[in-house]
Chain A
Amino acid sequence: MLKVENVTKYYGDFLAVDDLSFEVEKGEIFGLLGVNGAGKTTTFRMIMGLLDLNEGKISLNGEKIDYSMTDKIGFLTEERSLLTKLTVKEQCEYYGKLKGMTQKEIEENAGFLLKKFGVPDYWDRKIKELSKGNQQKIQFITAIMHKPDLLILDEPFSGLDPLNVEIFKTEIKEMAANGCMIIFSSHRMEHVELFCKKIVIIQDGKSVLAGEISKIKEDFRKKNIFVKGEGIDKKELEKTEGVLSVSEIGDELEVKIQDIEHVDVVFNKIKDKKIFKFVVEQPSLNEIFVAKVGEKFGE
């Protein structure tokens, strides 16, 4: 288990991470979310042991993370972290050996993953000659080929087409199923929702929302109602108490309400119309994120 306990990090007088705590269980995919500059990279660097903490502690399977155990961690950075002048083979050898792998292990594991990701012929190709998406594949392969216990993924789907996103998703889920702890960071909330059971949203280094996604959604008072019917006046609906906005999505209306208690108010407003659909749904994680982070920006 990865345990981040009351971690605080200062850069001089600047507070980068403020009393942050979370845990990642074996086989769990955990979402670490935040806008740019929120403190995600600093948190990753602290987990990797690259930065010293000012307060708190971080442990992996009960042990403090140091260079004796970084071989058990895989890290995929948001930016490309490949040495573009090298070939795929040289790159895999370089990062693989730094993770304590033997030449045989590198050739076997990397070869297997290259086939799995549909790029088996790239072994002797220079990184700089590859497309953005294929570079991302190589970066991902170098991050997982040593079969880490903990994998940190920062925007893993960057530059990928939908087909390759699916391949990545399958691999990530498979790794989690095999017991790998995964910290997932992305600005694409639909991906986070798809993978993660638990998340923490950080803003200015401080946790503003944490817990299980289902519970977060449940606790989040704003809801969305999807309505389909005949004779419903959109403008009238917008004026209804507790309605934040009404937007047309196809032949349906999406009614955002500020509190679950306003569902009845909306229903009473349209109950005399011909209604085919009236569904109350949880808000998306994206809405929750925008709402929570927006609060901090004074929205």
Chain B
Amino acid sequence: MESKLKFLISVSLKRKIKSKWFLFANAILLILIVSIANIDSIITFFGGDFDEKQKIHIVDETNVAASIFEEQIVISGEGILGDVTTQFEIIIVEDEEFDYEKVIEEEKDDIVIYLKYNEENYIEAKVISDAYIEMMTYQTIVAALNNTKSTIALLESDIDMEELTRITTPVSIERVVLDESKDSEQELQNAVMTTIFPFVVLPFFMLTIFLVQMIGAEVNDEKSTRGMEIIISSVSPEKHFFAKILAGNLFVVIQGGLLFIFGGIALLSRKIFGSSSITDGVGAEITGIVRQVMDTDLGDQLIYVIPLTLILMLLTFVAYSLLAGILASMTTNIEDFQQLQTPIIIISLIGYYLAIMAGVFTGAVFIKVFSFIPLISAILSPSLLVLGQIGVTEVLISIALVIGLNFLLIKYGLKVYKVGILNYSTTGLWKKMFKALKS
């Protein structure tokens, strides 16, 4: 005869995993993840004018500025849009009867730039388009125009071409970082962190919601049907509590594993179906992230970052499940529990937002202090570790604090659970719970 604890765990897990909704939800998740990873291929599959470049017509009254602008837009655009030659087609207008209205009427995306000589400011420009120009494109045009003006100014200052080339050549920069622990690649790692972060945090966040909902729904289902009376008359509340917690956490591990496998399938599908260089989708971003991780020291860091993160996350899942179990025992129906679960989810969100802000407010004491707080630390602490704002010791302290919280939740929460699961009335609820804590 298998132990009752093992039996309760297997029943909870089977109920969740064997349900058609679990299969349905995971099938949808798989389709969505694979689709997002291959979004560029999907877009190109349905066709469109992806090869067409945006035309910029230059009407140059100065006879000098157009050719300079043509060079400068390539240089200026590199830092903003990348290779602009694949995105724009520069047309220097020589036709004296050029009608910009007619051109834009025919091609709504076209841009017309009039360049005129200006006595005070060397040149002036008029940029004409049908609608608002996309922000990055506009910034590139403005930068190119300013650089064109500077170049014309330098030319008019009788500087020889050799000197002019030296002036316009970008400054050679050698990065030297004195703190060896923050080598020059740290900045790149930060960039990787900001990109990779949502891909790690999102599953954690999703799994936390799954976990809290699963435990809450199960406890409330057994309570509201009064099946709890029969169950608790056969197994101790302690055994019942731990069965729910362990089943919930095992489910999270299984679901997390599935999400990981779905991610793998998505990457594999991307490799099989290939990607389009025309549109830059999320899939391309994933490929980029993997490449960036390999290119930096982050790969070496992952040897200790991954185990520490996993330990912290698993312990935090246990803490969330303990909290969910205790709160579920106090409620008398699922609607009440759903109201209580909102603050739990918000706690998780605080960690998420603070982790985002950590990259902006480097070294913020406030964020560092929060990284130790259990429930929040699962997201925040590993983020700060990767960003180099805290060390392994601080993460170990966070782990110890989560273990401490779990111990307290088990010690005192069990008392509340024991009373709560057989309580069907909200009258004097807090009094009953405090009494249970004191007992």
Are these two chains actual partners, yes or no?
Answer: yes
- Determine if A82 is an interface residue (Cβ-Cβ < 8 Å): yes
Q: Which residues 64-87 of A have a CB within 8 angstroms of B? A: 67, 70-71, 73, 75, 77, 79-85
Please name all residues of chain A whose beta carbon is closer than 8 Å to the beta carbon of B2 when the two chains form the complex. Answer: 97
- Determine if A102 is an interface residue (Cβ-Cβ < 8 Å): yes
B225 lies within 8 A of A82 (CB) = yes
Query: Given the complex of chains A and B, what is the CA–CA distance between A83 and B11 in angstroms?
Result: 13
Query: Given the complex of chains A and B, what is the CA–CA distance between A136 and B229 in angstroms?
Result: 16
Name A85's contact: one of B7, B221, B232, B234 (CB within 8 Å): B221
Closest partner residue, chain B, to A81 (CB atom): B226
Report if A71-B234 is in contact (Cβ < 8 Å); known contacts: A12-B431, A84-B225.
yes
Please name all residues of chain A whose beta carbon is closer than 8 Å to the beta carbon of B231 when the two chains form the complex. Answer: 95, 98
Interface string of B213-251 (1 = CB under 8 A from A): 000000001100111111111111000000000000000
- Determine if B435 is an interface residue (Cβ-Cβ < 8 Å): yes
- Determine if A122 is an interface residue (Cβ-Cβ < 8 Å): no
- Determine if B422 is an interface residue (Cβ-Cβ < 8 Å): yes
Query: Given the complex of chains A and B, what is the CA–CA distance between A155 and B432 in angstroms?
Result: 28
Please name all residues of chain B whose beta carbon is closer than 8 Å to the beta carbon of A70 when the two chains form the complex. Answer: 233-234
- Determine if B176 is an interface residue (Cβ-Cβ < 8 Å): no
Query: Given the complex of chains A and B, what is the CA–CA distance between A85 and B14 in angstroms?
Result: 14
**Interface size of A as a range:** 20 to 34
Report if A49-B226 is in contact (Cβ < 8 Å); known contacts: A94-B11, A97-B7, A102-B1.
no
B229 lies within 8 A of A75 (CB) = yes
Interface string of A38-73 (1 = CB under 8 A from B): 000000010011110000000000000001001101
Name A79's contact: one of B11, B222, B226, B431 (CB within 8 Å): B226
Please name all residues of chain A whose beta carbon is closer than 8 Å to the beta carbon of B431 when the two chains form the complex. Answer: 12
B225 lies within 8 A of A80 (CB) = yes
- Determine if B411 is an interface residue (Cβ-Cβ < 8 Å): no
- Determine if A211 is an interface residue (Cβ-Cβ < 8 Å): no
- Determine if A229 is an interface residue (Cβ-Cβ < 8 Å): no
A83 lies within 8 A of B236 (CB) = no
Report if A75-B230 is in contact (Cβ < 8 Å); known contacts: A12-B435, A45-B422.
yes
- Determine if A99 is an interface residue (Cβ-Cβ < 8 Å): yes
Q: Which residues 9-59 of A have a CB within 8 angstroms of B? A: 12, 45, 48-51
How far is the CB of B224 from the nearest CB of chain A, in Å? 10
- Determine if B4 is an interface residue (Cβ-Cβ < 8 Å): yes
A83 lies within 8 A of B235 (CB) = no
Query: Given the complex of chains A and B, what is the CA–CA distance between A73 and B230 in angstroms?
Result: 10
- Determine if A120 is an interface residue (Cβ-Cβ < 8 Å): no
Report if A75-B233 is in contact (Cβ < 8 Å); known contacts: A12-B435, A45-B422, A98-B4.
yes
Query: Given the complex of chains A and B, what is the CA–CA distance between A73 and B229 in angstroms?
Result: 13
Closest partner residue, chain A, to B237 (CB atom): A50
B226 lies within 8 A of A50 (CB) = no
Query: Given the complex of chains A and B, what is the CA–CA distance between A84 and B432 in angstroms?
Result: 29
- Determine if A100 is an interface residue (Cβ-Cβ < 8 Å): yes
Please name all residues of chain B whose beta carbon is closer than 8 Å to the beta carbon of A67 when the two chains form the complex. Answer: 234-236
- Determine if A8 is an interface residue (Cβ-Cβ < 8 Å): no
Please name all residues of chain B whose beta carbon is closer than 8 Å to the beta carbon of A100 when the two chains form the complex. Answer: 1, 4
- Determine if A207 is an interface residue (Cβ-Cβ < 8 Å): no
- Determine if A142 is an interface residue (Cβ-Cβ < 8 Å): yes
Query: Given the complex of chains A and B, what is the CA–CA distance between A94 and B11 in angstroms?
Result: 8
How far is the CB of A294 from the nearest CB of chain B, in Å? 27
Q: Which residues 96-137 of A have a CB within 8 angstroms of B? A: 97-100, 102
B1 lies within 8 A of A95 (CB) = no
Query: Given the complex of chains A and B, what is the CA–CA distance between A82 and B227 in angstroms?
Result: 5
Name A95's contact: one of B230, B232, B422, B432 (CB within 8 Å): B230
Q: Which residues 1-35 of B have a CB within 8 angstroms of A? A: 1-2, 4, 7-8, 11
How far is the CB of B179 from the nearest CB of chain A, in Å? 60
Please name all residues of chain A whose beta carbon is closer than 8 Å to the beta carbon of B232 when the two chains form the complex. Answer: 50
How far is the CB of A185 from the nearest CB of chain B, in Å? 14
Please name all residues of chain A whose beta carbon is closer than 8 Å to the beta carbon of B227 when the two chains form the complex. Answer: 81-83
Name A48's contact: one of B225, B233, B432 (CB within 8 Å): B233
Query: Given the complex of chains A and B, what is the CA–CA distance between A67 and B238 in angstroms?
Result: 12
How far is the CB of A91 from the nearest CB of chain B, in Å? 9
Please name all residues of chain B whose beta carbon is closer than 8 Å to the beta carbon of A50 when the two chains form the complex. Answer: 229, 232-233, 422
How far is the CB of A84 from the nearest CB of chain B, in Å? 6
Please name all residues of chain B whose beta carbon is closer than 8 Å to the beta carbon of A95 when the two chains form the complex. Answer: 230-231, 234
How far is the CB of A90 from the nearest CB of chain B, in Å? 9
Query: Given the complex of chains A and B, what is the CA–CA distance between A85 and B226 in angstroms?
Result: 13
Interface string of B49-77 (1 = CB under 8 A from A): 00000000000000000000000000000
Please name all residues of chain A whose beta carbon is closer than 8 Å to the beta carbon of B230 when the two chains form the complex. Answer: 75, 77, 81, 95, 98, 142-143
Please name all residues of chain A whose beta carbon is closer than 8 Å to the beta carbon of B221 when the two chains form the complex. Answer: 83, 85
B7 lies within 8 A of A81 (CB) = no
A81 lies within 8 A of B229 (CB) = yes
Query: Given the complex of chains A and B, what is the CA–CA distance between A172 and B292 in angstroms?
Result: 74
How far is the CB of A98 from the nearest CB of chain B, in Å? 4
Query: Given the complex of chains A and B, what is the CA–CA distance between A281 and B225 in angstroms?
Result: 44
Query: Given the complex of chains A and B, what is the CA–CA distance between A97 and B229 in angstroms?
Result: 15
A80 lies within 8 A of B226 (CB) = yes
How far is the CB of B195 from the nearest CB of chain A, in Å? 43
Query: Given the complex of chains A and B, what is the CA–CA distance between A97 and B11 in angstroms?
Result: 11
Closest partner residue, chain A, to B240 (CB atom): A98
B225 lies within 8 A of A83 (CB) = yes
Query: Given the complex of chains A and B, what is the CA–CA distance between A254 and B45 in angstroms?
Result: 93
Report if A77-B236 is in contact (Cβ < 8 Å); known contacts: A12-B435, A50-B422, A102-B1.
no
Query: Given the complex of chains A and B, what is the CA–CA distance between A49 and B236 in angstroms?
Result: 9
Please name all residues of chain B whose beta carbon is closer than 8 Å to the beta carbon of A102 when the two chains form the complex. Answer: 1
B225 lies within 8 A of A98 (CB) = no
How far is the CB of A154 from the nearest CB of chain B, in Å? 10
How far is the CB of A23 from the nearest CB of chain B, in Å? 21
25 A-B pairs within 8 Å (CB atoms) are namely A12-B431, A12-B435, A45-B422, A50-B229, A50-B233, A67-B235, A67-B236, A73-B233, A75-B230, A77-B226, A77-B230, A80-B226, A81-B225, A81-B228, A82-B225, A83-B221, A84-B225, A94-B11, A95-B230, A95-B231, A97-B4, A97-B7, A98-B4, A98-B234, A143-B230
Given contacts A83-B222, A98-B231, 14 further A-B contacts (CB under 8 A): A45-B422, A49-B233, A50-B233, A77-B229, A77-B230, A81-B226, A81-B230, A85-B221, A94-B11, A95-B230, A98-B4, A98-B234, A102-B1, A143-B230
Q: Contact residues of A with B, CB < 8 Å?
A: 12, 45, 48-51, 67, 70-71, 73, 75, 77, 79-85, 94-95, 97-100, 102, 142-143
A-B pairs, 3 with minimum CB distance: A98-B234, A81-B226, A48-B233
